[in-house]
Amino acid sequence: MPLPIQAFFVPLLFLFFFFSSIATAAIVEHVFQVKNVVVKPLCKEQMIPTVNGSLPGPTINVREGDTLVVHVINNSTYNITIHWHGVFQLKSSWMDGANMISQCPIQPRNNFTYRFDITGQEGTLLWHAHVVNLRATLHGALIIRPRSGRPYPFPKPYKEVPLVFEQWWDTDIELLNSRPAPISDAYLINGLAGDSYPCSKNSNAHSLRMFKLRVVQGKTYLLRIINAALNTHLFFKIASHNVTVVSVDAVYTTPYVSDVMILTPGQTVDALLTADQPNGMYYMEISPYTSANSLVPVPPSTPIRGLIVYEDAKSTASPSNSLMPSGMNAISTAHRFSSNITSLVGGPYWTPVPDHVDEKMFVTMGLGLKPCPPGTKCIGPFGQRYAGSLNNRTFVIPGTISLQEAYFYNISGVYTDDFPDQPPMKFDYANFGTSVKTLKYNSTVEMVVQNTGIITSESHPMHLHGFNFYVLGYGFGNYDPIRDADKLNLVNPQMHNTVGVPPGGWVVLRFKANNPGAWMFHCHMDAHLPYGIIMVFIVQNGPTPETSMQPPPSNLPQCTRDPTIYESLATSVDLSS
């Protein structure tokens, strides 16, 4: 019997209303072709792995609510994953791109498609390779704008300008083969080294190979700033101009006026810049923040500059200079900027701090020394080698299957569910292992992260996958649960996915574990990944299918049986000469 016409019409009508109600959500699709190309930011040509041949890689533009689909085609000679740094990945933990944690890597001549929704967050984030050293050149901006028709919670800027800060090595072979990467030769702003490096200088200011932002007098620009450096915190300053910070790590902030800012590796800042100075040219400058003591070599001090050029500026005008913080002043400037930011209470996506805490953790973090294995020579301090740890555990990255698959399929022997809530009473050389902490769905975790710095005390940028955390407080010295707990900000604390734990100091973080899956918490200094400053939270399923992990996509990359193709394990890291 033929169906009456209504049988078609009614579902169609339903579909029409269904789609019109989500009409603002789009599917944004990209192809990421990972391939080696030759670039020349300084004097030498270098072969580097890139996405689509560009450095930085392509900018992704989406609106909140969109679905992002990225087809990664690996035509490079490396194992690759791409991580969407700061994206919540709500119910899509298989798409997190954390090598050997959420997936095995995409091997050369293989493809994988990342597909996930971007919901409940707006601002600037970044994507990057999540395999040691490769994010040096495989990274780019990920910009999330409000759904159409929804305004920013600040005056609409005249233009928006991504600023990607990068670290550069003039020796590709050295970079990719040594773990961690050696001291870099330069920094770049949007792929350009600026006028103080060889092969960039001695030319007229308008033809310099430096990043130039042309501005119109009186207009306001939204700078979307990303620190994509592997291992360096960076100060950023514009001569003679203040900026107004409106968002950090894609969370809106109370507008905060400053003449300088600091970003740890992996952090982002959105700031409004108004061209309110006399016509002319002004330097913008980045400068590495070295909070560590002298055991860690200091990067070159050459200024890294770009230029703000007013529309009517005479080409002969000399750009006015700015003064970057240094020494103790650098530590206090960094602390002032970081700790003064507060969230925009009542702004889009703001949720009050949960006041009930289910899991309290005290996590000591630091870089220590381990004896050199017998018969080898180590070049670390005192002839030893570095080992990082959290609560005295040095994380070993799984070698045969991803941690999340081991969890999902209940495969034993890949990790142990024993990450301690407190450091052990007696400190010894770090324990090596793949240690995770299991959390109940929707539980609230509070973590005091204490920077111990057994051999060197430096700021470590701790990054959590899958969640933003509230930063309830920052301080120096040892955290005091009575004195310091009283001063925590529970009203309008800043939120981050990456926070710099002050040198010899602490932070207090809180987050709600509302997303099932396996999520890394690690130092975002790429050099500290192989040292094992990593732990993993496993968030269990909630009570409904809606709050439970989906099975992995059928084409999730498989690990081969050859363990040598994976990242170095912490135990195999050595600085032997």
**Distance between CA 257 and CA 276 in Å, rounded?**
14
Q: Establish how many alpha carbons lie within 13 A of residue 150's alpha carbon, considering only the half-sphere containing its beta carbon.
A: 14
Minimum gap (Å) between residue 567 Cβ and ligand C2O:
12
Minimum gap (Å) between residue 1 Cβ and ligand C2O:
59
Which one of the spans 160-168, 336-344, 520-528, 544-552 is the region binding ligand C2O (CB under 6 A)? 520-528
Residues within window 263-302 making contact with ligand C2O, judged by CB under 6 A:
266
Residue of the chain from 385, 465, 510, 512 that contacts ligand C2O (CB under 6 A): 465
130 makes contact with ligand C2O (CB under 6 A): yes
Closer to ligand C2O at the Cβ: 34 or 308? 34
How many other CB atoms sit within 10 Å of the CB of residue 151? 9
Question: What one-character DSSP code corresponds to residue 106?
Answer: B
Closer to ligand C2O at the Cβ: 197 or 395? 395
Closer to ligand C2O at the Cβ: 94 or 197? 94
Minimum gap (Å) between residue 115 Cβ and ligand C2O:
19
Residues within window 64-83 making contact with ligand C2O, judged by CB under 6 A:
83
Closer to ligand C2O at the Cβ: 193 or 464? 464
91 makes contact with ligand C2O (CB under 6 A): no
Closer to ligand C2O at the Cβ: 98 or 284? 98
**Residue 296 near residue 460, CB atoms below 8 Å:** no
Residue 252's beta-bridge partner residues?
Answer: 247
Residue span 155-194 as binding mask against ligand C2O, x where in contact by CB under 6 A, dash where not:
----------------------------------------
User: Three-state SS for 470?
Assistant: strand
Closer to ligand C2O at the Cβ: 175 or 535? 535
Closer to ligand C2O at the Cβ: 283 or 419? 419
Question: Checking DSSP bridges between strand 534-539 and strand 498-501, what pairing results, if any?
Answer: unpaired
Residue of the chain from 128, 237, 437, 512 that contacts ligand C2O (CB under 6 A): 128
**Distance between CA 308 and CA 312 in Å, rounded?**
12
Residue of the chain from 341, 520, 523, 533 that contacts ligand C2O (CB under 6 A): 520
**Distance between CA 522 and CA 14 in Å, rounded?**
46
Residue of the chain from 85, 91, 460, 510 that contacts ligand C2O (CB under 6 A): 85
Amino acid type, 70 = V
> Which residue minimizes CB distance to ligand C2O?
85
472 makes contact with ligand C2O (CB under 6 A): no
Minimum gap (Å) between residue 533 Cβ and ligand C2O:
11
522 makes contact with ligand C2O (CB under 6 A): yes
3-state helix, strand, coil in the chain (%, to 5): 10, 40, 50
Minimum gap (Å) between residue 135 Cβ and ligand C2O:
7
Residues within window 12-31 making contact with ligand C2O, judged by CB under 6 A:
none
524 makes contact with ligand C2O (CB under 6 A): yes
Closer to ligand C2O at the Cβ: 131 or 215? 131
User: Three-state SS for 310?
Assistant: strand
**Distance between CA 158 and CA 167 in Å, rounded?**
29
237 makes contact with ligand C2O (CB under 6 A): no
Closer to ligand C2O at the Cβ: 385 or 460? 460
Q: Is 359 exposed, middle or buried (0-12, 13-18, 19+ CB in 10 A)?
A: middle
| # binding residues, ligand C2O (CB under 6 A) | 11
Minimum gap (Å) between residue 529 Cβ and ligand C2O:
8
The residue to which tokens 């035509």 are assigned: 75
Distances (CA, A) of 534 to 87, 331, 378, 394, 448: 19, 25, 23, 7, 15
528 makes contact with ligand C2O (CB under 6 A): no
Minimum gap (Å) between residue 242 Cβ and ligand C2O:
29
Minimum gap (Å) between residue 123 Cβ and ligand C2O:
15
Rg value, the chain, Cα: 24
98 makes contact with ligand C2O (CB under 6 A): yes
List the Cα angle 175/180/183 in 5-degree steps: 65
Q: Is 383 exposed, middle or buried (0-12, 13-18, 19+ CB in 10 A)?
A: exposed
Minimum gap (Å) between residue 403 Cβ and ligand C2O:
13
Give me the count of residues in the chain. Answer: 577
**Residue 210 near residue 194, CB atoms below 8 Å:** yes
List the Cα angle 281/286/292 in 5-degree steps: 155
User: Three-state SS for 459?
Assistant: coil
Q: Return the closest-CA partner of residue 557 out of 69, 104, 71, 76.
A: 104
Closer to ligand C2O at the Cβ: 325 or 500? 500
**Residue 352 near residue 395, CB atoms below 8 Å:** no
What's the CA dihedral at 501, 506, 507, 510 to 10 degrees? 120
Closer to ligand C2O at the Cβ: 83 or 385? 83
Residues within window 435-464 making contact with ligand C2O, judged by CB under 6 A:
463
Distances (CA, A) of 395 to 135, 179, 270, 475: 20, 16, 33, 26
Which one of the spans 221-229, 252-260, 330-338, 517-525 is the region binding ligand C2O (CB under 6 A)? 517-525
Which one of the spans 44-52, 161-169, 408-416, 516-524 is the region binding ligand C2O (CB under 6 A)? 516-524
Binding site for ligand C2O (CB under 6 A): 83, 85, 98, 128, 130, 266, 463, 465, 520, 522, 524
